[in-house]
Structure 1
Amino acid sequence: MTAITNSLPQGFIPVMLTPFLETGEVDYAGLKTLTEFYLTTGAAGLFANCLSSEMFELSEDERISVTKAVVDQVAGRLPVVATGTFGGPISDQAEFVKRIYGTGVQAAIIISGLIADESDSDEEFLKNALELISLTGDIPLGFYECPVPYKRLVPSNILEPLVATGRVVYHKDTCLDLAEVKQRIALADGQQFGLYDAYMVNAVASLKAGAAGLSCIQGNIYPELVVWICKNFNNPERQEDVKKVQQFFIDSMDLVHTAYPIIAKYSLQKRGFPISLYTRREVGVLTPELKTQMDNLLVEVEKIQADLGIPSNFTQYLVK
């Protein structure tokens, strides 16, 4: 299979949820509808089979079938990336990278905490990462500083030789450090590499520093605002609005991370999208108090969108 060497598009790349039936099985019909929903919000690409997708609670076959279902539904309209590493010997991880790439994704994503133990040095991580790159032909790759099983950051001095291979096209950044983000962006100058920040406190600052876009859980709650900020962060006529939206991201940080992804599924459901609250992952309880807080937040979202002139993408799902 010939690798796609083009960089990913700039903008919002959602970290996709996985809808489940109340029986606990993957809701593939719901997944198709959800995929279309992301497209209607203005997403630039999709990240399937990620932590928000409950990837560690999916079987190996489900990881493949979920990714394939998304790729098939998108049908080339947007690029899709998906996680391709789930632990074990590097040679085994390389084989699964090939399997996930075989579904038709544009890049396979490497979980930084799964190719080296927490006690391993950055140099050991780099050695393993380069081995994985060497074992996967010309497949485009990305890195995700996932908090599970543990959060391993890929510092600039380690990221630089990886990007220099020409194989790394995506980086889901969770370092939370704007100065480090700027260094990571600078070292990739001239490469087909995009840094997509997950930390919405720094959303505007990262975009202005040259980040390719955002890959954040907030896109599963108020995707329209994430798309809007990606399109308007540098618009001189909208800077006051940009500041207001950025402050809203900061103010809502704690709530959107509580009992996630249940709270995201609840917010989608509350806004009219047909999705079950069922999750396989143990993330805490969506209490009545949390529901009330989210209800209030969604009222604020609708007000902000109205003020900005952003139409809701949920009205098509409401029962007439």
Structure 2
Amino acid sequence: MGKKRKGYIPVMLTPFKDDGVVDFDGLTKLTTLYLRAGAAGLFANCQSSEMFNLSGEEQLAVTKHVVRVADGAVPVVATGTFGGPVEKQADFVKRLYETGVEAVIVITNMLAGESESTALFDERFEQLLDATLGIPLGLYECPEPFKRVLTAEQLKRFVGTGRVIYHKDTCLDIQQVRAKLEATKGVSDFGLYDAYMAHAVESLKAGSAGLSCIQGNYYPELIVWLCNHYDDERMADQVGMVQRFFIEHMDIMHDVYPVVSKYFLQKRGLPISTFTRKDVGLFDAPTRKGIDAFYLEFSQLLEQIELVPNGVTP
């Protein structure tokens, strides 16, 4: 999860069968898709995974399955904090770490409430560190149920403990990202992965270890391509084209998500259902028509930058 090369860390979907049961065969195929696309790691049990709609045992089973399918090819991280007393959260962190993940992710809105202070959050994070000795951790500014964004100073202190190796940033502000990168500069075993594609190229050039965005749940190869070519002067025109594409299509990729991304992956040939446990709105005919048009635009973009997909199903 460090900064040896830029990489894409997928925020993984959870495939379900049409009756709402976790589709582990679909999860195998989805994990294989990410790996074939060139993912540098995998983020299981995250918001895109509908983690708040999974039971604790399902979270453990899904994470263990992803670790098994990855089979050491790339590191896997997964969320392990879901509210309640610090001791309770620490217990689940320990259980999740036993699945074989590289690090357990702490979502920043689960250690202190929206109206509670930064000082209280810091105190509880220190308690969690003490209660999970030896376990590498990551941080994720999860937008739901509310977003708690870390300051550069906080991130510097947490990374300075030697326990935090990963940060998924969702501040959406390139100046804040730069400040966090400057604050953690020189720490080789830590990586900041940016979620916001609107400033993806700027973030990579500023020193982000890579990208961790929902757009990769449509076409992960394209995010990997951007991580590989963002600073290639010979491909500056194509890089600019890809960056503009993501900016211009931000809304359609977020609307009725993750149903729309599952539908998009169906069109690519991945045999998964569009079922989601989370209520994200109506996937109606106009929305479907918009995604169909979006799929064609994606295909045209791939031709323009001469990117050949790596295939979908095993």
- TM-score, normalization by structure 2: 0.97
Equivalent residue, structure 2, for 1:275:
272
**Among residues 222, 227, 233, which one is paired with 2:224 in the alignment?**
227
CA distance in structure 2 between the partners assigned to 1:6 and 1:54 by the alignment: 26
User: What is the match of residue 203 of structure 1?
Assistant: 200
The alignment's C-alpha RMSD in Å is 1.4
Distance in 2 between the 1:15 and 1:183 partners? 24
Shift of 1:316: 5.4
Give structure 1 stretches of 5+ with no counterpart.
none
Among candidates 52, 57, 69, match of residue 65 of structure 2: 69
4+ long deviations beyond 4 Å: 5-9
Of structures 1 and 2, the one with the larger relative CO (CA 8 A, separation 6+) is 2
Residues of 1 paired with 2:208 and 2:80: CA distance? 23
**Which residue number corresponds to residue 127 of structure 1?**
123
Within 5 Å, give how 1:150-229 maps onto structure 2. Answer: 150-191=146-187, 192-229=189-226
Match of 2:106 among 100, 103, 110: 110
Mapped to 1, the partners of 2:4 and 2:109 lie a distance apart of: 23
Q: Report the residue type matching 1:158 in the other structure.
A: Q
Per the TM alignment, residue 55 of structure 1 is displaced from its structure 2 partner at its CA by: 0.5
Per-residue deviation, 1:10: 3.2
Partner of 1:240: 237
Q: CA deviation at 1:174?
A: 0.4
- Give the stretch that moved more between structures: 304-313 or 137-146: 304-313
Give the C-alpha shift of residue 7 in structure 1. 6.5
SS at match of 2:109: helix
Say if 1:122 and 1:158, in contact at 8 Å, map to a contact too.
no
Q: For 2:130 and 2:262, how far apart are their aligned partners in 1? A: 39
Q: How does 1:30-45 map to 2 (within 5 A)?
A: 30-45=26-41
Cα separation, 1, equivalents of 2:238 and 2:3 = 30
Superposed displacement of residue 205, structure 1: 0.4
Q: State the secondary structure of the residue aligned to 1:37.
A: helix
Please list every run of 5 or more consecutive structure 2 residues that lacks an aligned counterpart in the other structure.
none
Per the alignment, in what secondary structure is the counterpart of residue 202 of structure 1? helix
CA drift of 1:315 comes to 6.0
Pairing partner for 2:255 from 254, 258, 283 = 258
Query: For structure 1, which segment, 297-306 or 79-88, has the greater mean C-alpha deviation from structure 2 after superposition?
Result: 297-306
Alignment CA distance shift 1:316-1:53 (3 Å): closer
User: How far apart in 2 are the matches of 1:119 and 1:199?
Assistant: 25
Deviation string 1:165-202 (CA, Å, 9 cap, x unpaired) is 01111111000111110010111112221110001001
- Number of aligned residue pairs: give it: 313
- Please state whether the residue corresponding to 1:154 is helix, strand or coil: coil
1:274-313 aligned within 5 A: 274-313=271-310
Residues 29, 270 of structure 2: 8 Å contact kept: no
Segment of structure 1 superposing worse, 8-17 or 75-84: 8-17
CA distance in 1, matches of 2:160, 2:126: 11
TM-score (norm: length of structure 1): 0.95
Amino acid at match of 1:108: V
Identity of aligned residues (%): 50
| Higher deviation after alignment, 26-35 or 7-16 | 7-16
Aligned to 2:106, the other structure's residue is in SS state strand
What is the DSSP-based 3-state SS (H/G/I as helix, E as strand, rest coil) of the residue aligned with 2:241?
helix
